[in-house]
Chains A and B, each alone.
Chain A
């Protein structure tokens, strides 16, 4: 116990003597969290609050194009800017000046009307309501296309959401035209609509509740668990470098000749770096609770969740420390430890679902992600933060993280024993 305390005290001294290192350990994760949340929050706003300038070339100048432009303007997502030629709009978008251009084809309104009238008359004639029109030969109406130009640098997710939005809007206009054609053909007064054009099927999102209040997830609640975990796992880098330094500066050689086992040496490092992880976590929570609202970002609510959140942070920290100690035990130089450690964290984060949700990954990656400790930690954090579950629900993830820590430590000790056996 005395040796473990001495090792811990030595690690504390080494850490506090490196002020630059401490600053990096604590400030960089906070910076990462703030930047990522700001960026992600603005991504949400891109779709909801901020107006994206969109070029529109209206070759139709009819009812349909008027509808499209009006609907897009009213959606609060786009600021519509008229351009006279398709070539000009294409040039502006492909050069990156604008993200999107919409080109509405010539005679779109007339052709749509003609097509709808043709279809409606066809239907009505089947019911014997407009027998005289059957004699008229069916005119072929060429299909019209609304052209979309995207800046090649535009992200796929943004393109998809815009395409879906426009597609939905055009479908609505088409449906509306069909209803209007029926109304006209049936000779009803415009003032008394015979069709209800409002959507019959509506959607309602049911959220988890706490004390009968719905918990609405926001970007901060998604980001804080994900990036806190990312920061916690980055402890692998300084920790593995710390061990490699011991080997290179000769202190480890002295320790090997002393009556102290490797587990005690690792124990001292584990205690200190676990404290570092928990301080990091506390700072990130404080930023989420107090700083985010000041910055205009959504804050987080941790009431009633703190014990479980700290439990997840503690075991995630242990898993990260185990990996760092194993890497430091195996690596011979800092040049091996640092790049490998940081790349490994990024890979584990990607596998764990920090960037792309696990359900959206290919099947094989979904299976691999199940063996990423970051995935266990992230799921446990989401369970507590967003799904509002009890301790029993997070127990499997906690146990997996603990098992991972124990496994990595045992491998590190065995590796060291074999390497230095006499």
Chain B
């Protein structure tokens, strides 16, 4: 489904590569977690895969397509849930979703049903016609997620979809993502919540300083790392305990 070959990104003026000669393969139907400390290159990698950033070198394909030759076709195929709330605060939840759904070419009754259905699952039906400016962080996160999945993407990219939300909202989001995955959506997501990733992801890759340190099925990674009882211990063993502050 996703084939990444020697993908690199070096920002203008930066000394080091943010993503360095990265190879990765994500198969159809997988939930692939990209894990790593701050500044590891997770968001940079997702930004390149969703056409937001131009790679310095290397290439990738999604479903056999690349952005250079099949830009609109590929954009129709993927969904993105960015880390920040990409919503218009003065529009209602319904109006936001109606607009972003329309940009995928969905219209009329199909769009309305899709919005209503997702709002229902996410427990936001009664807030559909309230401005998103009045929403809590958890509610905004859920609307943010719906905006990226209205067109039933084949591949969904999520950048920290559960950051800063309460346990209840997190559960609703994860449950909905699992449902989407069951319906055939391949998911690539970044997270700092290693417990969440351990149980949610079918595969994970631990990235540090732009390179993949280890990748595989979470349970196998734990088994193969001597003394590790969970993914967090694998993570700390592989990436170390030093703070990662970047400016």
Binding site for B on A (CB under 8 A): 2-3, 6-7, 9-10, 13-14, 17-18, 249-251, 253-260, 420-422
Q: What's the tally of chain B residues with a CB closer than 8 Å to chain A? A: 37
Whether the Cβ atoms of B85 and A254 lie closer than 8 Å is no
Whether the Cβ atoms of B86 and A6 lie closer than 8 Å is no
- List 17 extra interface pairs beyond A3-B105, A249-B85, A250-B82, CB under 8 A: A2-B105, A6-B98, A10-B99, A13-B91, A14-B88, A14-B91, A17-B90, A249-B84, A249-B89, A251-B88, A254-B147, A254-B148, A256-B51, A257-B78, A259-B103, A260-B103, A422-B67
B226 near A: Cβ within 8 Å? no
Whether the Cβ atoms of A10 and B95 lie closer than 8 Å is yes
**A421 CA / B52 CA spacing, docked (Å):** 8
Whether the Cβ atoms of B95 and A13 lie closer than 8 Å is yes
Whether the Cβ atoms of A422 and B85 lie closer than 8 Å is no
CB-nearest residue of chain B relative to A16? Answer: B90
Query: Within residues 91 to 113 of chain B, which ones have a CB less than 8 A from any CB in chain A?
Result: 91, 95, 98-100, 102-105, 107
Whether the Cβ atoms of B76 and A422 lie closer than 8 Å is no
Q: Is the interface of A mostly helix, strand, loop or mixed?
A: helix
B124 near A: Cβ within 8 Å? no
**A254 CA / B99 CA spacing, docked (Å):** 11
Q: Chain A nearest CB: distance from B81 CB in Å? A: 9
> What are 14 A-B residue pairs whose CB atoms fall within 8 Å in the complex?
A6-B98, A9-B99, A10-B95, A13-B95, A17-B90, A249-B84, A250-B82, A250-B85, A253-B84, A257-B51, A258-B75, A259-B76, A259-B103, A422-B51
- Which residues of chain A have C-beta atoms less than 8 A from B22's C-beta? none
Q: Chain A nearest CB: distance from B71 CB in Å? A: 8
**Residue-by-residue, is B55-76 near A (CB-CB < 8 Å gives 1, otherwise 0)?**
1000000000001100111011
**A14 CA / B95 CA spacing, docked (Å):** 10
CB-nearest residue of chain A relative to B95? Answer: A13
- Which residues of chain B have C-beta atoms less than 8 A from A257's C-beta? 50-52, 75, 78, 80
CB-nearest residue of chain A relative to B90? Answer: A17
- Which residues of chain A have C-beta atoms less than 8 A from B71's C-beta? 259
**A7 CA / B99 CA spacing, docked (Å):** 7
Number of A-B contacts (CB under 8 A): 82
**Residue-by-residue, is B144-162 near A (CB-CB < 8 Å gives 1, otherwise 0)?**
0001100000000000000
**A255 CA / B147 CA spacing, docked (Å):** 11
B87 near A: Cβ within 8 Å? yes
**Residue-by-residue, is B113-153 near A (CB-CB < 8 Å gives 1, otherwise 0)?**
00000000000000000010000000000000001100000
CB-nearest residue of chain A relative to B76? Answer: A259
B53 near A: Cβ within 8 Å? yes
Out of A14, A249, A258, which one reaches B104, CB within 8 Å?
Answer: A258
Whether the Cβ atoms of B90 and A259 lie closer than 8 Å is no
- Which residues of chain A have C-beta atoms less than 8 A from B105's C-beta? 2-3, 259
B182 near A: Cβ within 8 Å? no
CB-nearest residue of chain B relative to A250? Answer: B86
**A247 CA / B215 CA spacing, docked (Å):** 35
**A420 CA / B107 CA spacing, docked (Å):** 27
Whether the Cβ atoms of B91 and A17 lie closer than 8 Å is yes
**A259 CA / B84 CA spacing, docked (Å):** 20
Whether the Cβ atoms of A254 and B90 lie closer than 8 Å is no
- Which residues of chain A have C-beta atoms less than 8 A from B84's C-beta? 249-250, 253
Whether the Cβ atoms of B103 and A253 lie closer than 8 Å is no
CB-nearest residue of chain B relative to A260? Answer: B103
Whether the Cβ atoms of A251 and B86 lie closer than 8 Å is yes
**A18 CA / B91 CA spacing, docked (Å):** 11
B193 near A: Cβ within 8 Å? no
Whether the Cβ atoms of A3 and B102 lie closer than 8 Å is yes
Q: Chain B nearest CB: distance from A81 CB in Å? A: 61
- Which residues of chain B have C-beta atoms less than 8 A from A253's C-beta? 52, 82, 84, 86
**A254 CA / B144 CA spacing, docked (Å):** 10
Q: Which 4 A-B pairs have the closest CB atoms?
A: A6-B102, A250-B86, A17-B90, A254-B86
Whether the Cβ atoms of B54 and A258 lie closer than 8 Å is no
- Which residues of chain B have C-beta atoms less than 8 A from A10's C-beta? 88, 91, 95, 99
CB-nearest residue of chain A relative to B54? Answer: A422
